[in-house]
Structure 1
Amino acid sequence: MLTKYQQFFTGRPTTEIAKDLLGKMVKYQDGDEIVGGYIVETEAYLGEKDSASHAFNGRRTGYSESLYGMPGNIYLYQIRGHYCFDIVVQDAEEPQGILLRGIEPAIDVKKMTENRHMTGVNITNGPGKLVQALGIHSRDLDGQPMETSQLTVDLQDFKIPREITTTARVGVNVKGANGLSPRRFYVKGNPYVSNIKKRDMDTANHGWKE
């Protein structure tokens, strides 16, 4: 029997879950310190039939084993020296996931700034950046259920996007069968969305409903 928390991450299309995560709060606790921010950008990866997925064509390795776990589990992986935070969705043995690409800092922004040695939107406007800003530097949390982990998504603490934009994903092989599929979602106008142009930023409300 799935918990209510786990049920959020299954039972509906992964693209729908990816959109529903926008505005939810990511939190990471290290000892007495808690940092976190609101999710502003996600990408959906649809498992074995998705050419951009780590599980494409049934590929399964020790490294990607966590993708086959329970809904709401953590899949932490490393690419080009950076760690990325992926949330496992759908039922066990159905290797679909959602990559967090951007968050808006909200809890102990000073600490997140120190973790990144950066200021402004560069703190968390990319998948590797946000993991570093949270203070995560290993795969130790890989495979853990977020419900009981130091790293979690608080489904009760959220903002509501005014508008959600859908595009192709970033950094995937565009020549793949699903390379241009519309599976990236972001809060329109939020300054912490990766690659957003200044002219498109909503500097007043960051794309949230008031």
Structure 2
Amino acid sequence: MSAEALSAADPLGAAHLVLGSMLSVGPVRLRIVEVEAYGGDESGPWPDRAAHSFPGPTARNAVMFGPAGRLYVYLSHGLHFCLNVSCAPQGTAAAVLLRAGEVLDGEVLVRTRRSPGRGARELARGPGNLGQALGISLSDNGADLFDERSPIRLRPGPAVPVASGARVGITHEADRAWRLWDPTSSAVSAYRRSPRAPAPGRTTS
């Protein structure tokens, strides 16, 4: 995996590349075990009403429009910092949300950020918890994940088995099977459908 490979990939292809990769921030290293792909605006090749980029470029979502291999950070519900990896060609919006990871290095530090009593599989389960485990903030938005000088690095990992299904907790495009996970990992989060989403098989207008 490289920035070039992510640039050439569509959102789902990029999600396959990111799943199983290693994300390092200082002494903390995670193996990414669950991801979700997100597309872009109506004028792009992958319109996606669930994506932050659907309304078009803004100051908040600019990283989603490229270049590929950058970290897109957003604050969810005013509480949690969530991490995405930008993909697709420059100017085309798409990204991969990092939903869960296994802590490989730096567990002692992670526990100071999360909770000393939590089980290892819970330390970075869920996108907000993953961001907290890594100590991410909005100041990290736009970081180049493939620059050797960057404090946040994404590296390929060994191939993993892949399961797929609907994305979690979204109202629009709720049936799009753009969530991927490693079925052998106990750190994968539970699927929860948004109560505002239409019945399975139906779409939002």
Q: What amino acid is the match of 1:139? A: L
Please say if residues 38 and 95 of structure 2, whose CA atoms lie closer than 8 Å, have aligned partners that are also in contact.
yes
* Equivalent residue, structure 2, for 1:195: 190
Deviations 1:150-193 (A, max 9, x none): 112112xx2331x21100000111xx2x2210000000131110
* Equivalent residue, structure 2, for 1:141: 140
3-state SS in 2 of match to 1:47: coil
Q: 2:31 aligns with which of 27, 30, 38?
A: 38
Q: 2:133, 2:155 → 1: CA distance?
A: 18
* Equivalent residue, structure 1, for 2:199: none
What aligned pairs does 1:41-56 form with structure 2 within 5 A after superposition? Answer: 41-48=34-41, 49-56=47-54
TM-score normalised over the length of structure 2: 0.83
Runs of 4+ in 1 over 4 A off after TM superposition: none
Residue identity (%): 27
What aligned pairs does 1:21-170 form with structure 2 within 5 A after superposition? Answer: 21-29=18-26, 34-48=27-41, 49-56=47-54, 58-80=55-77, 81-118=79-116, 119-120=118-119, 121-136=121-136, 138-148=137-147, 149-155=150-156, 158-161=157-160, 163-170=161-168
3-state SS in 2 of match to 1:9: helix
TM-score normalised over the length of structure 1: 0.81
Please say if residues 38 and 159 of structure 1, whose CA atoms lie closer than 8 Å, have aligned partners that are also in contact.
no
Q: What amino acid is the match of 2:103? A: P
In structure 1, the gaps of 5 or more residues are 197-210
Aligned residues: 181
Q: 2:169, 2:18 → 1: CA distance?
A: 21
Please say if residues 24 and 154 of structure 1, whose CA atoms lie closer than 8 Å, have aligned partners that are also in contact.
yes
Please say if residues 7 and 67 of structure 2, whose CA atoms lie closer than 8 Å, have aligned partners that are also in contact.
no
Q: What amino acid is the match of 2:14? A: I
Indicate yes or no: 2:19 matched with 1:18.
no
Please say if residues 7 and 90 of structure 2, whose CA atoms lie closer than 8 Å, have aligned partners that are also in contact.
no
Shift of 1:69: 2.2
Q: What amino acid is the match of 2:135? A: G
3-state SS in 2 of match to 1:16: helix
Q: 1:171, 1:92 → 2: CA distance?
A: 28
Q: What amino acid is the match of 2:141? A: D
Q: 2:99, 2:113 → 1: CA distance?
A: 17
* Equivalent residue, structure 1, for 2:176: 181
Shift of 1:68: 1.4
**CA RMSD between the two structures:** 1.5
Q: What amino acid is the match of 1:153? A: L
Please say if residues 51 and 179 of structure 1, whose CA atoms lie closer than 8 Å, have aligned partners that are also in contact.
no
